[in-house]
C-alpha cells in the first residue's frame, strides 16, 4: 500500500497551515493501575500519527477529514453535529468526531477545517493508536484555532473523548503518554495527583516491543469487567479507590471473595512494582527492572487474568533468551503487544529471533514494533 500517495494539496486544493504529531506509547510497567488512582510508567514509541490541517473557507462549519490509512476518502461532517459511526471500518472517525464534539461541549470555538491524517502506529496492537490519533488531532485544532489548552488538559479532554463519546472507559495513562512522553525516557505518572517526572531507561538496556498478531480492543467486555471488579473490591473494603490501600493491607485484601481479592492484590502489588522500577531505573539496574517486568506479567496472568495463551508464549520465549532481562504484556491485555528489556546493542537481532520462534510455535504473524521506525 502506498500510503503517502496523496498530499494535502492534492486532496483539498490548497496548502496545510499546521502539522502536528503524537507518538504511540508502550507502558513499561503499571498496568490497570491508572483507573485505580495508581502509578504508571509509559514511554513513547517512534511511530507517530501526523495530522496536517487548515481552516476551511470562511463561514464554512464543515469538517473534512481524509486518512492515508483509509485510501484518502474524504469524510465530511458538521461541527457540533457529531454522530457515532455504525460501520466497523469507519470506527476511527469516532475519535475524530469525538474530539470536536468534546471541544465544542467544553466551550472551545472551532470553525470548519480540512485535515489529512497519517498514522504509523499499528492499530489493535495495544500501543495507543487511538490516543495518538486524538492527541495529534487535538493538537492540530489547538494550533489552527489558537485554543488555550496545555498538554495535561489536552490529555484529560482526550480521555473524555474515549469515555463520553467512544464509550471506552479507559484511564488517563494513554493520552498523558501520547501528550507528554518522549522516546528513551519514561513518564512516571501519579494518576491521582497528576504529578509526573521523566525517568531514563538504564543505559545498559534497551527496549523491544513485539505485537503478538492477536488484536486487542478496549471497547470489549474484559476491560470494563475489570474496572467493575475493582469498584466492587473498593466497596467491600470501604474505600473509593484501590490507591488507598497498600502492601500492609494485603492480609485484609486476602479475605475478600476470591476474584476480588486477586484483582485488588494485582493493583496493590503493581503500584509497588512501579515505585521499585523507578528506583531500579534511577540506580541503573536493568537486572532488577527485568525481574519486576517478570513479576508484573505473572500478576497480570494469574491475579488480574488479562493475558492470553499466545501472549504468555511470547513472554516465555522472550524471557528464555540470554540477552533478555525481563518481558511482560503491555497495555490493556486480551491480545496486543509485549515489552522486553534487553541488553543494549542486541535488540535488533534478539527481536527477530523471538519473533521467528513465536511465529513458528503459534502460527501467528508477529510484528517487531521496536526497534523500528515507520
Ligand atoms: C488501556 C487503557 C489505559 C490503561 C491500560 C491498562 O491501555 O487505555 O487507560 O488502563 O489499558 O494499564
Grid coordinates in use for 247? 502492601
Name the closest-CA residue to atom 11, ligand 1: 332
The residue count of the chain comes to 374
CB under 6 Å to ligand 1: residues? Answer: 27, 31-32, 34-35, 170-171, 173-174, 218, 331-332
pLDDT of residue 59: 77
Distance CA 230, CA 299 (A): 15
Which residue, among 349, 53, 26, has the nearest Cα to 184 in the 3D structure? 26
Number of helices and strands (H, E) in the chain?
Answer: 11, 12
Digit-by-digit pLDDT tens for the chain (374 residues) are 454 589 999 999 999 999 999 999 999 999 999 999 999 999 999 999 999 999 998 878 999 999 999 899 999 999 999 999 988 888 999 999 999 999 999 999 999 999 999 999 988 889 999 999 999 999 999 999 999 999 999 999 999 999 999 998 899 999 999 999 999 899 999 999 999 999 999 999 999 999 999 987 655 679 999 999 999 999 999 999 999 999 999 999 999 999 999 999 999 999 999 999 999 999 999 999 999 999 999 999 999 999 999 999 999 999 999 999 999 999 999 999 999 999 999 999 999 999 999 999 999 999 999 998 75
Query: Residues 100, 141: contact at Cβ < 8 Å?
Result: yes
Residues contacting 344, CB < 8 A, separation 6+: 203, 204, 205, 206
Tell me the CA–centroid distance for residue 286 and ligand 1, in Å.
24
pLDDT of residue 253: 98
How far apart, in whole angstroms, are the C-alpha atoms of residue 113 and residue 162? 22
The C-alpha cell of 52 is what?
Answer: 496536517
Reduce the DSSP state of residue 117 to 3 states and report it.
Answer: strand
Catalogue the active-site residues: 174
Q: Coil, strand, or helix at residue 42?
A: strand
Residue with CA closest to ligand 1 atom 5: 332
What is the structure's pLDDT at 88?
84
Q: Which atom number of ligand 1 is nearest to the Cα of residue 162? A: 8
pLDDT of residue 328: 98
31: CA distance to ligand 1 center in Å? 7
Domains in the chain (CATH in brackets) are 8-196 (3.30.230.10)
Amino acid at each position: 500500500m502506498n500510503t503517502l500517495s496523496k498530499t494535502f494539496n492534492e486532496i483539498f486544493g490548497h496548502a496545510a497551515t499546521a502539522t502536528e504529531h503524537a507518538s504511540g506509547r508502550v507502558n513499561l510497567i503499571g498496568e490497570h493501575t491508572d483507573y485505580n488512582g495508581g502509578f504508571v510508567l509509559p514511554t513513547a514509541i517512534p511511530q507517530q500519527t501526523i495530522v496536517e490541517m487548515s481552516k476551511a473557507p470562511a463561514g464554512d462549519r464543515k469538517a473534512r477529514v481524509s486518512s492515508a490509512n483509509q485510501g484518502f476518502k474524504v469524510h465530511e461532517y458538521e461541527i457540533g453535529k457529531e454522530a457515532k459511526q455504525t460501520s466497523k471500518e469507519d470506527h476511527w472517525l469516532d475519535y475524530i468526531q469525538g474530539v470536536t464534539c468534546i471541544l465544542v461541549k467544553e466551550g472551545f470555538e472551532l470553525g470548519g477545517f480540512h485535515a489529512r491524517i497519517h498514522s504509523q502506529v499499528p492499530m489493535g496492537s495495544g500501543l495507543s493508536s487511538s490516543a495518538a490519533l486524538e492527541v495529534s488531532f487535538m493538537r492540530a485544532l489547538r494550533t489552527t484555532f489558537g485554543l488555550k489548552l496545555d498538554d495535561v488538559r489536552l490529555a484529560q479532554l482526550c480521555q473524555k473523548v474515549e469515555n463520553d463519546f467512544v464509550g471506552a472507559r479507559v484511564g488517563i495513562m494513554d493520552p498523558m503518554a501520547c501528550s507528554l512522553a518522549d522516546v528513551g525516557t519514561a513518564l512516571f505518572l501519579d494518576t491521582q495527583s497528576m504529578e509526573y517526572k521523566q525517568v531514563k531507561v538504564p543505559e545498559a538496556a534497551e527496549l523491544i516491543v513485539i505485537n503478538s498478531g492477536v488484536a486487542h480492543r478496549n471497547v470489549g467486555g474484559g476491560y470494563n469487567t475489570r474496572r467493575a471488579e475493582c469498584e466492587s473490591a473498593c466497596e467491600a473494603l470501604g474505600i473509593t479507590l484501590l490507591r488507598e490501600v497498600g502492601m500492609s493491607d494485603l492480609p485484609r485484601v486476602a479475605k475478600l471473595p476470591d476474584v476480588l481479592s486477586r484483582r485488588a492484590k494485582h493493583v496493590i502489588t503493581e503500584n509497588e512494582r512501579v515505585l521499585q522500577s523507578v528506583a531500579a531505573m534511577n540506580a541503573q539496574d536493568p537486572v532488577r527492572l527485568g525481574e519486576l517486568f517478570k513479576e508484573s506479567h505473572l500478576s497480570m496472568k494469574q491475579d488480574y487474568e488479562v493475558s492470553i495463551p499466545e501472549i504468555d508464549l511470547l513472554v516465555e520465549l522472550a524471557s528464555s533468551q540470554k540477552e533478555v532481562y525481563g518481558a511482560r504484556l503491555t497495555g490493556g491485555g486480551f491480545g496486543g503487544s509485549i515489552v522486553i528489556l534487553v541488553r543494549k546493542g542486541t535488540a535488533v537481532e534478539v527481536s527477530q529471533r523471538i519473533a521467528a520462534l513465536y511465529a513458528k510455535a503459534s502460527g501467528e504473524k508477529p510484528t517487531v514494533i521496536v526497534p523500528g521506525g515507520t
